[in-house]
Amino acid sequence: MTTIKTASKASGVGSLLSEIQIIDRIFNHVDQGTTDLGDTVWREPVDNYFAKDRFNAELSLLRHHPIPYCPSAALTKIGSYQARKAAGTPLLVARGRDGKVRAFINACRHRGMQVASGNGCSKAFICPYHAWTYSLEGELRAIRGKEAFPDMDPSRNGLVEVSALEYGGIIYVQQEGKINPTALEGNLEYFSPEQQLFDQSETSNNANWKLITETLLEGYHIKSLHKDTFYPYGLDNVNLVEIYGANSRITFPFRRIEKLREVPSEQRKIDGMATTVNHIFPNASVSSLSKHASLTIMEPLTPSSTQMITFLMTSKHADESNISIEAAKKDAKFVSQSGQDEDIAAACSIQETVTAKANSHLTFGYFEKAIVNFHKHLTKNL
């Protein structure tokens, strides 16, 4: 395959291609035997995939940066909540009686017991250790045997709140400092209110979080790694890569996009003809597929292990396309049990070699433009 370089995009969301432009550019690549290219080769030291000091610096970044925690679709009702660790800290995120989403450190102010686990819907949070009770807004409402704590001021001992902001269908959390809303203006409205959450899961894998993130951000490997899963439906290394600030959008066209050749340009729709993956810096991705969409957070556990938190939702145009929940689930199952498993296996395999002294660094070339952008911004922010 010959290749051509594409002009560098501006950093703003407004620079992203329209639906018609995306389709036209895909057809141009197919006809010319080309693909989008970057202009930089990046060499990432292998130490950065296992060194404890580097890992601690990355955790610090995750605590000081607005990070996707869950989709809004996971907290649709008053009292709905999600509790899990983020950047090593147990957090509790809940929708209050006023409809606002708040985030707290998930620790009772008595002895530090976590007051909630998993996800659900509740009228209050009751510590399972000694039954201290907190409101949905984090206020300490009841102390069992309060006579034993004469100096305890409930108004000063609610759950410790951290910054949370709902934007574009995603709930972002920042553990240190307050989220600056302008910091999210470069992000897209990734999900719409009509999209329904139909599943969520957590899986742990023996690979650094960056290795797993990297598998999502290029199509150079599709023919070789996914030859019996994704490749029969997709094209060989024909991708669009758009950069908007620290984030990126990669479009992976399906072979069936050729059906649009006979459709007038102004009537063409990309929906169902490609997969798009948006990387939300630093550790999350939003994928829009044929019949479903997903939000995945790569949560670092140790330098060599990652917890993937995945939320599965109906697609934006499910109602218009008459796509059932059953069809969305089937689509998601194919992705998770075929190509996604192959990606994770590849990341785990690489993790075993980064300490083997075979390479001093991992090399990312022009086909891996979005990964280069990821590492540039990660290095800049550490």
Helix (H), strand (E) at residue 280: strand 274-280
Superfamily of domain covering 13-59+192-381:
Naphthalene 1,2-dioxygenase Alpha Subunit; Chain A, domain 1 (3.90.380.10)
How large is the average pLDDT for residues 6-33? 80
Average pLDDT of span 92-109: 98
CATH topology of domain 67-179: Rieske Iron-sulfur Protein (2.102.10)
Nearest to 348 by CA among 306, 302, 310, 311: 306
248 falls in which pLDDT band (50, 70, 90)? very high
pLDDT tens digit sequence for 42-62: 999 999 999 999 999 999 999
351 Cβ contact list (under 8 Å, min separation 6): 49, 50, 206, 207, 208, 211, 304
Q: How many secondary structure helices (H) and strands (E) does the chain include?
A: 7, 19
Predicted confidence (pLDDT) per residue in 152-194, tens digit = 999 999 999 999 999 999 999 999 999 999 889 888 999 999 9
Q: Are 275 and 289 in contact (CB under 8 A)?
A: yes
For 307-347, the pLDDT digits (tens) are 999 999 999 877 667 888 998 898 888 887 778 999 999 99
- Residue 12's pLDDT is 59
Nearest alpha-carbon partner for 246 in 217, 225, 273, 270: 217
Q: Which residues of 109-144 are buried (b: 16+ CB within 10 A; e: fewer)?
A: bbeeebbbeeeeeeeebbbeeeebbbbbbbebeebe
211 half-sphere exposure, CB direction, 13 A CA radius: 31
In this predicted structure, what is the pLDDT of residue 316? 86
Q: Is the pLDDT of residue 103 over 80?
A: yes
Instruction: Output the pLDDT for position 5.
Output: 38
Judged against a pLDDT cut of 80, whether residue 9 lies above it is answered with no
Higher local confidence (pLDDT), 13 or 174: 174
Does residue 6 carry a pLDDT above 60?
no
Which residue ranges make up each domain of the chain?
Answer: 13-59+192-381, 67-179
